[in-house]
Amino acid sequence: MARKCDVCGKKPIVGFKVSHSNRKTKRRWLPNLHKMKVLVDGKVKKINVCMKCLKAGKVEKYVRV
């Protein structure tokens, strides 16, 4: 699974974890992704969506009736 939001394109960023003694080791910050069923052009698709996009209402969650 690609760790990328299919709506906004958010992906992992890299940087350093810095200890108290100022030693630096590489680390990654991952986006808060969820694979969910979403309505896209009237069809149901399973895509990766970050929670920021979901809360902002950029996608319409599919709810089976």
Mean of per-residue pLDDT scores for the chain: 93
Residue 64: alpha-carbon gap to chain centroid:
23
User: What pLDDT shows up at residue 1?
Assistant: 59
Neighbouring C-beta atoms of residue 8, cutoff 10 Å: 14
pLDDT, average across residues 33-49: 92
Whole-model pTM: value is: 0.78
User: What pLDDT shows up at residue 46?
Assistant: 95
Exposure b/e, 25-55, CB count within 10 A at least 16 = b? eeeeeebebeeeebeeeeeeeeebbbeebbe
User: Distance between CA 49 and CA 35 in Å, rounded?
Assistant: 6
Domains and CATH numbers, the chain: 1-65 (2.30.170.40)
